[in-house]
Amino acid sequence: MREENYNERISVTSDALFKLIGQVFLYGGVSVGIGWLILQKSAERWVDAHFAKRQKQFEHEQAKELQRIKAKLDTVIQGSLKLQEREFKIIPEAWEKVSEAYSIASWLCSPLQSYTSLQRMSDAELEEFMSTRDHLSETQKQAIRDKRPEDRDKRWQEIDTDRRYFKARDALATADGFLKTNSIFLPDELREMFNEQTEVIWKALVAFEVGVQSEDYKMRNSAHETLRDEGKPLHERTEKAVRARLLEQTQLADDNTMMD
């Protein structure tokens, strides 16, 4: 379209030039030599003025186009930098939350558990101990008081196991919610690894809960095996992937700083 408009303008201005030539030769009283000299000078000035105008218009349009491209490029670069900054912030937080959920679940499902023994405590010592446990409700405290000293440990272990289980479940829910909210900012590989990690932890917690409620120690132990055989290798692979990605992001940030 621009080429057609340009050709039309050339055609119009050329017609004007030929009209001028015709007028010069139609006027009488002027020799052909002088007329041709006048015509030559006029034509030169006309051509110079015409192409100078066209050159100025072209430079103006070129400058506008370059400005438009630069503005678009700046927008793309700024958007990319903001996304990179967001990802650099999200990845460590995701790793922290998933790692916390994994650590608490591993602690919960470990076959080696330790509990404070209550059976040898005096009534005063028992009251002091329970007063320092904020998670204990008054109903739970009374249930412990009502037990014979030799039965208090079993009841306390049941209560404390429930507390540990809910702590693990809350940590997993926090990690899973964070991943779902910020999944768009995570690279595909890391997002899949984080999601797989939460699924393994959830699988272990379900097995643990069923094992406790049914007093099935084989099922309860399978939770530990799941975290050991599936969770630990995956956790280590995820850690390496996170380190690699953060190192890559750091190098990109250094490159951008040098370019600025």
Whether 123 maps to a domain, the answer reads no
208 and 111 share one domain: yes
3-state helix, strand, coil in the chain (%, to 5): 90, 0, 10
104 and 213 share one domain: yes
Which of 11, 46, 72 terminates a domain? The answer is: 72
Question: Residue 169 is encoded by which pair of tokens?
Answer: 């479940």
Q: What are phi and psi of 134, to 5 degrees?
A: -65, -25
Would you give per-residue pLDDT tens digits along the chain (260 residues)? Answer: 444 444 444 444 555 555 555 554 444 444 555 555 665 666 667 666 767 777 777 666 776 666 666 655 555 445 455 666 788 889 999 999 999 999 999 999 999 889 999 999 999 999 999 999 988 999 999 999 999 999 999 999 999 999 999 999 999 999 999 999 999 889 999 999 999 999 999 999 999 999 999 989 899 999 999 999 999 999 999 999 999 998 887 775 555 554 45
58 and 156 share one domain: no
94 and 46 share one domain: no
Which of 72, 107, 134 terminates a domain? The answer is: 72
199 and 245 share one domain: yes
Whether 81 maps to a domain, the answer reads no
- What pLDDT is stored for residue 57 in this prediction? 72
114 and 242 share one domain: yes
| Whole-number CA gyration radius for the chain | 41
110 and 204 share one domain: yes
Whether 45 maps to a domain, the answer reads yes
Contact 102, 194 (CB under 8 A): no
Residue 140 and residue 161: Cα distance in Å, rounded?
A: 13
Contact 248, 196 (CB under 8 A): no
- What pLDDT is stored for residue 249 in this prediction? 74
Which residue type is seen at 134?
D
19 and 90 share one domain: no
Whether 124 maps to a domain, the answer reads no
Question: Residue 204 is encoded by which pair of tokens?
Answer: 């272990």
- What pLDDT is stored for residue 85 in this prediction? 76
111 and 31 share one domain: no
- 249: which residues sit within 8 A by CB, 6+ positions away? 84, 87, 88, 91
Whether 133 maps to a domain, the answer reads no
214 and 186 share one domain: yes
Whether 35 maps to a domain, the answer reads yes
* Number of domains making up the chain: 2
> Which string of b and e fits 30-55 if b means at least 16 CB within 10 Å?
eeeeebeeebeeeeeeeeeebeeeee
Which pTM was predicted?
0.67
State which residues form the domain around 102.
86-118+151-259
235 and 112 share one domain: yes
Contact 204, 223 (CB under 8 A): yes
54 and 159 share one domain: no
- What pLDDT is stored for residue 86 in this prediction? 82
Whether 41 maps to a domain, the answer reads yes
Residue indicated by tokens 């006029």: 42
Contact 109, 167 (CB under 8 A): no
How far are the Cα atoms of 3, 196, 224, 236 from residue 231, in angstroms, in the given order?
67, 9, 10, 9
Residue indicated by tokens 């008081």: 145
